[in-house]
Amino acid sequence: MPNIVHPSEVQIVLTTFETSPGMCQDLMDALQDAYASFISKQPGFVAAGLHVNDAQTRIANYSQWRRREDFMEMLRSEEMRERNRRFSDLCHRFEPVMYDVAAVF
């Protein structure tokens, strides 16, 4: 389970996917499969959550990693590169961005 604290000892990655209602469930299925069978098993993975807006036009992915390098290594793997190509087919655009926890309430 994600645990959000400040200061944080983990690397936070937020990825937003812009999709369409007709593709949202397909993209969600692909993301869930990626986490269940690959991402969650990678070194440094801590936790993640997937969120869908009411209109089913956006998916937000929150993930935590022990180190920035762990996330980057997973992202550069051949399997993840292949999965990202599939994600690209299911959405208009997506972008993972690394963040530091600045405050918690």
The per-residue pLDDT for range 21-36, each reduced to its tens digit, is 999 999 999 999 999 9
Which pLDDT value is given to residue 26?
Answer: 98
Pairing, β 58-65 against β 11-18: antiparallel
Cβ-proximal residues to 22 (8 Å cutoff; 6+ apart), any chain: none
Which pLDDT value is given to residue 1?
Answer: 81
Which pLDDT value is given to residue 83?
Answer: 98
Fold of 11-99: Alpha-Beta Plaits (3.30.70)
Residue spans of the domains in the chain: they are 11-99
In order, the DSSP letters of 68-102 are: HHHHHHHHHSHHHHHHHHHHHHHSSEEEEEEE---
Inter-residue contact 94 to 15 (CB < 8 Å): yes
Share of the chain above pLDDT 70, in %: 100
Digitized pLDDT (tens) for each residue of the chain, 105 residues in all: 888 999 999 999 999 999 999 999 999 999 999 999 999 999 999 999 999 999 999 999 999 999 999 999 999 999 999 999 999 999 999 999 999 999 999
